Chains A and B, each alone.
Chain A
Amino acid sequence: TQTVSQSDAHVTVFEGDSVELRCNYSYGGSIYLSWYIQHHGRGLQFLLKYYSGNPVVQGVNGFEAEFSKSDSSFHLRKASVHWSDSAVYFCAVSASSGSWQLIFGSGTQLTVMP
């Protein structure tokens, strides 16, 4: 059974700060890991995905995520946040074979203060 855990329900930072949003997963096989952003009242927008290769994946708008097999983690980072980054961020996992549904974490609400 695949599970995705986002330990922080809320993260608040100031504009220009760096931020790390945490994601841990549990799955025994080969998987895809991704991050999505959901602005208030909107659908999910894709940020980035990892399957293999370089464990640091670059995404849109200056976001990156780092895969760690030893920690079963895929944390999302941004060096300098903008107020428009305020949104809910979802980590997701999907299997590379068999089931192809996305399993989402519970989300982290990021609030960027001016």
Chain B
Amino acid sequence: GPKVLQIPSHQIIDMGQMVTLNCDPVSNHLYFYWYKQILGQQMEFLVNFYNGKVMEKSKLFKDQFSVERPDGSYFTLKIQPTALEDSAVYFCASSADRGNTEVFFGKGTRLTVV
């Protein structure tokens, strides 16, 4: 079936450094999302993105976070600078439409900030 690919699967980074998480969404999907999951806790919405713009973001989407999808390539989440509390698994997702449609999730990138 359709797959959302996330690269890398694990990333360890020093606090204060920049990190970019990459997501290859399902081809022909137009809506993109990032979710954050701290170990053992629920999935929490960060941001959604459509037509080159952030449509919604939660309070977890701090000023240090940014997303983009230049020229239809990877959908990226950049954190600059990183903080210890950014350690989590970040899931990318995509859907063909909003509303009554299936949202496809990637396997996640485990980010560890040390």
Contact = CB atoms under 8 A, between A and B. Distances in A.
B99 A96 contact: yes
Report the interface size class on chain A.
20 to 34
B105 A44 contact: yes
A104 B48 contact: no
Contacts of B56: 99-101
B92 to A, nearest CB: 9
A45 B105 contact: yes
Contacts, number: 55
B78 interface: no
B25 interface: no
A69 interface: no
Contact of B43 (A32, A49, A96, A104): A104
30 contacts: A32-B100, A42-B107, A42-B108, A43-B6, A43-B91, A43-B105, A43-B108, A44-B43, A44-B93, A44-B105, A46-B103, A46-B104, A49-B100, A49-B102, A90-B43, A96-B100, A97-B99, A100-B31, A100-B55, A100-B98, A100-B99, A101-B33, A101-B45, A101-B58, A102-B35, A102-B43, A102-B103, A104-B42, A106-B42, A107-B42
Nearest to A96: B99
Nearest to A100: B98
Interface of A: 32, 36, 41-46, 49, 51, 90, 94, 96-97, 99-107
Interface string B47-91: 010000001101000000000000000000000000000000001
Nearest to B110: A41
A44 B42 CA distance: 12
